[in-house]
Each structure stands twice: as C-alpha cells, then as structure tokens.
C-alpha cells in the first residue's frame, strides 16, 4: 500500500467516524461561531461583510473561514451545518497532514509509540474534537499551521526550494487570514529558511516572504478601503491599550493549556537534553526552527491574555507542531541513549513507552474534560448557544422586524433572530471598541463598555441584560443581582437607563425571559411585568431581603423547591 493511499485512508476514516457519531457527541456550536455565521449569511445574501446591514465593522477575526462559510451559504443555504462539516474535515486533514510530516521528515514508523500517541492525541483529545464540532475556525487554523510547517521544512531541505517556499508563503498567508495572531509565525520561519540546511538562501526566503508580503499588503489595502481601518475591530475591543496588564491572564491561560494537554511539559527537558548532547544526536535544524515558531506564538498569546473559551482555543493551532517536536525529540533522545549505552534494552524501552502512552492519552482526555472542568464548560457553552438561538427565534416572532436588541452574547441571538444588534462590549461597534477600559479586570474580550453612548446614540429598543429563560417570573432585583458582565452592570446603574427603560418579561417555550424595553417602544400596558404573577408560584420575594448580602446568599439560605439546583442549572 503506497504512502498516499495510507494517508488518504487515515483522513477518510477519521472524517467518516466523526460524521457517524456526530449525534452522540456532547459538543455543539458555541456562541462566537454564530458571529461568523451572521457575517457569512449577510455576504451570501448580497449585503456585504457586515453584522448589521449597512454597518461596515470588522467584528470577526477569521476572514478566510467567513468567506468559506459564505460560499457554502450561497450554494446550499445551510451555513451552520457547513461550519461543522468544515470543522470535521479540517480536523481530519490536520491529523493526516501531521502524519505526512512525520512520515517524510521524522521517518519513524507509525507503529512506534511516539507517532501513535501524537496522531491519537490529535484525533481524540477534546482540544481538537470540541473545536472541530463548534462551528469555529480552529480546525482550519490547525491544518494550515501543519501545512505551513510541512512546506517550510521541505523548502529548507530541497535542492530546488522555490516551489515549496512559495507554497509555505501561500499557506502562511491563508493562516494569517484565518487567525490574525498567527502571523507571528512568519518571522521565525523566515529566519529559519534564511539559515536553511542547504545553499540558496534567496531562493528559499524570497518566495516565502514575497508571497506573504504581497498578499498581506493587498489584503490590508482592501480592508482599509472596505472597513476604513488597518486592523480588525476585534483587536481594539479585546487588546488595544492593555499594555502589560494582560500578561498575567495570558500566563494563566497557558497554564490551563498545560493542565489539559500535559505533553508540552516533556518538551522542556527534551530540548535541554538535545542541546547538551547535540554531538551524540542528529537533531535536524527544522526542530529548532519549528520550536522557535511555536515559542513565538506562545509568547504572543500570553501577551494578549488569551481568550475566555475553555480548552485554550488560541493554542490549539500549534498543538500539531508541538506533537511533531515531541516525536522527533523522542527519536533524537533514543540516539543519545544508544550512544551512552543505556542499560535498558531497546525492547524494554519500547514497552515502557507503550505503557506511558497508553496511560497518558486517556489521562489527558479525562483531565481536560473533568479536572479543570474545561470540557464540561465547553459542553455547557454549547447548551447555552442552543438556548440563545431559541430565544432569538422567539424574539423574531414576538417583535416587529427592525427591533434593535442590546446585549453582550451577540452571536446565537443575532444569527437566529435576524434583528439589528447593539453589541454592548464593542466587537461590532467601533466607538465602544475604542473606549478606554480596564481589560485586565474583566473576562477576556468583554472589558469594553460605553453606557452613555449606548443610551444616547444607539438607543436599543430592548436590552437583554440577562439572557436566560427561567422557570418562574422573577422581580427586577433578582435580574440586577445576577449580572456579572461589566457592560451590563454599568448600564443598569445609569440614571438615563432608569428613565428610558422599563422592566418586562416574555413567557417563552423554555420559560420566562426578563428584559428591559424603551418606554417609548413598549409600555407597561402593552406588556406588563407585575410581580408576583397571579396564579404562578415563584421562590423570590417582591423586594430584596435586607438580611442577605447577595443573590448567592439568598439561594444558599432559601432552599425552597430545589431553588439552588434549578438556579445553578440556569445561571
């Protein structure tokens, strides 16, 4: 069986297996995926790359993936399903591309413990599986990272490096258009190509740098012409002006990645061993080149503080690189042990590695799902996004077209309602995104706010400060006490908000939705929200009890009707 057929079978087996068990998977779309879906849908329908029709704001950070989704929407009309299919296909392609790299440049047979662990980890670990089924661009970014590494390594070793170097530049450009922070890989890769393993520095470096530079300049010119900005609005909303304040968050974010994957910890002693014994082990130059690229990316993610998603989304694209480094590091370590005439026989060494791999893989999967609760939180995010999509559909049914909605989680409700959205944290609003804020003190990506601007300029007709359907009607104090987003908390404390907005509720299929509505849009007579509701029981008193300092204290002490369990299941 030829090598190409083996790799092809690996790809199709993984893809078909994922599609076969899709209904059994606990993972689902998450809210931010619906932001890309809405941009793609508007583009497919001829409205342009906009979240709200007529407002050109680059509130996404994955241009290439949005364009792919728009093409699917144009051809089929099924953008969310297309997003999940793309995720699974690119996840399988990432595993196959990693296998191709290991087969060509490492040369260790697939049946050895290290390659088997690397490919099994990529295939089954939640950091890959969850994002493959989330509707996000993460699997595409991981595939393009592996593809860039493959062509860059080929260029560094080829006698005629121009074609693989050009392919590496094209893959790097596609990667930067998929995840903009991945552009940091370009500098260490270019330096490594310049140093190379053979002659012809210019023939290796110029095609890589030239294609990447021309493509990047062309894209930036288009971006400025279309959005009137040189950088995406998401940069201003999430990181601009933060300086060093996000580094501590970034270190915690990297720590979470290490806790859920474990294997990168082995790369540190491996690197020290190989550095100190370089004469006894033939460590290829690409190992150090890809290692420098991976370290650069890790440092960049730490600098911007990571993001708020579980399973360390920003580190998922470089996981194939780190696994490749692990496999090659283990092979080079074998050479060092052989040179030292290690007392262990090769058969015993292989048996020990099989045992370590057999224990480590399920342990990392279990840890990722349960111990830091990363996988469980991801599942919960999928449930929330599904619930929010249901709320969006009912809002579209209960309110007239064109009703503007202000809220923080804009993705699922925005896509499923098709209503104009006022983004309270500024991902899709230039003014809020540039409002100074303490980003280190808030959830990553949720630190911006500008309540005065929202109330005096945007004037959303309804505001969802609490995007939950609850089993009972609740009084306003419960909604206020349950808020935790700085944008929501600041908004409800404004005198202008109290003057312009009234408290309302809707009885939906999933329960009661509580929200605020402009008094000139929806009066108390058209949709009253009295409390208590006649004939409907609720565990909350009309007025906030003075003896409790917080809603949590009330729930802990007033355990009527299973209130605690129900409340934590909702909030």
What single string gives the DSSP state of each residue in 132-154?
A: HTTTSSHHHHHHHHHHHHHHHHH
Predicted local confidence at residue 549, as pLDDT? 63
Q: How buried is residue 487: exposed, middle or buried, by Cβ count under 10 Å (0-12/13-18/19+)?
A: buried
Same domain, 199 and 324: yes
Q: Distance between CA atoms of 134 and 304, rounded to whole angstroms?
A: 23
Same domain, 170 and 50: yes
Q: Does the residue 480 lie in any domain?
A: yes
Same domain, 213 and 92: yes
Predicted local confidence at residue 570, as pLDDT? 44
How many folded domains does the chain comprise?
2
Same domain, 92 and 140: yes
Q: Please give the sequence-ordered ranges of beta strands (E in DSSP) within 326-417, or none if there are none.
A: 405-407
Q: Distance between CA atoms of 152 and 205, rounded to whole angstroms?
A: 10
Same domain, 271 and 160: yes
Phi, psi of 133 (to 5 degrees): -105, 10
Number of H helices, E strands in the chain: 25, 6
Alpha-carbon 338 to chain mean position: 43
Same domain, 125 and 71: yes
Predicted local confidence at residue 561, as pLDDT? 46
Q: Does the residue 485 lie in any domain?
A: yes
Same domain, 299 and 404: no
Q: Catalogue the long-range contacts made by 43-52 (C-beta closer than 8 Å, 24 or more residues apart).
A: 43/67, 43/70, 43/73, 44/70, 44/71, 44/73, 44/74, 44/79, 45/73, 49/226, 51/410, 51/414, 51/421, 51/423, 51/428, 52/420, 52/421, 52/428
Same domain, 40 and 101: yes
The answer to whether 323 touches 296, Cβ cutoff 8 Å, is: no
Closest CA to 235 of 479, 439, 503: 439
Residues 6+ apart with CB under 8 A from 534: none
Using omega within 30 degrees of 0 as the cis cutoff, is the peptide bond preceding 532 cis?
Answer: yes
Same domain, 213 and 297: yes
Coil vs helix vs strand at 462 = strand
Q: Does the residue 366 lie in any domain?
A: no
Same domain, 438 and 499: yes
Query: Mind listing the pLDDT tens digit for each residue in 267-324?
Result: 988 888 888 876 656 788 899 999 999 999 999 999 989 888 999 999 999 999 999 9
Same domain, 345 and 395: no
Q: Does the residue 236 lie in any domain?
A: no
Same domain, 325 and 383: no
Q: Does the residue 189 lie in any domain?
A: yes
Q: Distance between CA atoms of 243 and 225, rounded to whole angstroms?
A: 28
Q: Does the residue 137 lie in any domain?
A: yes
25: left (phi over 0), alpha (psi -120 to 50) or beta: beta
Q: Does the residue 362 lie in any domain?
A: no
Q: Does the residue 235 lie in any domain?
A: no
Residues of the chain with pLDDT under 70: 1-4, 6-7, 20-23, 108-110, 197-199, 278-281, 338-349, 524-529, 547-571
Range of the domain at 269: 3-229+241-349
Global pTM exceeds 0.75: yes
Phi, psi of 371 (to 5 degrees): -65, -55
């Amino acid at each position: 069986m030829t090598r190409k057929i083996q790799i092809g079978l690996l790809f199709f087996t993984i893809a078909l297996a994922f599609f076969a068990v899709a209904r059994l998977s606990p993972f689902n779309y998450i809210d931010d995926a619906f932001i890309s879906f809405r941009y793609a849908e508007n583009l497919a329908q001829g409205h342009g790359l906009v979240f709200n029709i007529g407002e050109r704001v680059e509130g996404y950070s994955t241009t290439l993936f949005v364009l792919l989704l728009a093409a699917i929407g144009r051809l089929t009309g099924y953008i969310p399903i297309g997003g999940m299919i793309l995720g699974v296909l690119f996840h399988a392609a990432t595993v196959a591309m990693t296998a191709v790299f290991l087969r060509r440049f490492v040369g260790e047979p697939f049946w050895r413990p290290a390659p088997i662990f690397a490919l099994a980890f990529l295939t089954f670990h939640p950091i890959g599986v969850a994002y493959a089924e989330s509707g996000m661009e993460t699997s595409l970014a991981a595939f393009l990272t592996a593809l860039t590494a493959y062509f860059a390594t080929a260029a560094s070793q080829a006698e005629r490096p121009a074609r693989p170097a050009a392919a590496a530049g094209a893959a790097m450009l596609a990667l930067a258009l998929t995840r903009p922070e991945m552009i940091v890989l370009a500098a260490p890769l270019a330096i490594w190509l310049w140093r190379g393993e053979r002659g012809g520095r210019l023939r290796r470096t110029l095609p890589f740098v030239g294609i990447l530079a021309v493509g990047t300049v062309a894209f930036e010119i288009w971006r400025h012409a279309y959005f009137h900005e040189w950088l995406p609005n998401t940069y201003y909303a999430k990181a601009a002006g933060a300086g060093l304040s996000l580094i501590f968050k970034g270190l915690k974010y990297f720590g979470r990645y290490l806790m859920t994957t474990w294997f990168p910890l082995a790369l540190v002693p491996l690197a020290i061993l190989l550095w100190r014994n370089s004469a006894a082990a033939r460590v290829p130059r690409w190992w150090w080149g890809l290692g420098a690229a991976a370290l650069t990316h890790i440092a960049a993610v730490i600098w911007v503080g990571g993001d708020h998603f579980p399973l360390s989304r920003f580190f998922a694209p470089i996981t194939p690189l780190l696994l490749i480094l692990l496999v090659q590091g283990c092979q080079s370590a074998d050479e060092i042990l052989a040179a030292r005439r290690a007392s262990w026989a090769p058969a015993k060494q292989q048996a020990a590695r099989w045992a370590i791999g057999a224990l480590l893989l399920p342990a990392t999967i279990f840890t990722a799902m349960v111990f830091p609760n990363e996988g469980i939180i991801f599942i919960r995010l999928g449930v929330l996004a599904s619930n929010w999509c249901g709320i969006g559909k009912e809002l579209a049914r209960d309110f007239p077209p064109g009703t503007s909605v202000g809220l923080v989680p804009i993705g699922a409700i925005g896509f499923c309602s098709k209503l104009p959205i006022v983004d309270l944290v500024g991902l899709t609003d230039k003014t809020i995104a540039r409002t100074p804020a303490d980003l280190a003190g808030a959830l990553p990506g949720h630190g911006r706010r500008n309540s005065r601007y929202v109330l005096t300029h945007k004037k959303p007709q309804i505001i969802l400060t609490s995007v939950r359907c609850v089993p009972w009607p609740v009084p306003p104090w419960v909604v206020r006490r349950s808020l935790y987003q700085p944008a929501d908390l600041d908004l409800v404390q404004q005198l202008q908000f109290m003057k312009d907005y009234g408290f309302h509720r809707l009885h939906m299929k999933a329960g009661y939705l509580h929200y605020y509505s402009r008094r000139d849009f929806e009066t108390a007579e058209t949709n009253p929200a009295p409390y208590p509701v006649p004939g409907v029981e609720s565990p909350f008193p009309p007025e906030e009890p003075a003896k409790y300092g917080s809603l949590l204290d009330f729930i802990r002490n007033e355990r009527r009707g299973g209130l605690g369990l129900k409340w934590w299941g909702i909030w």
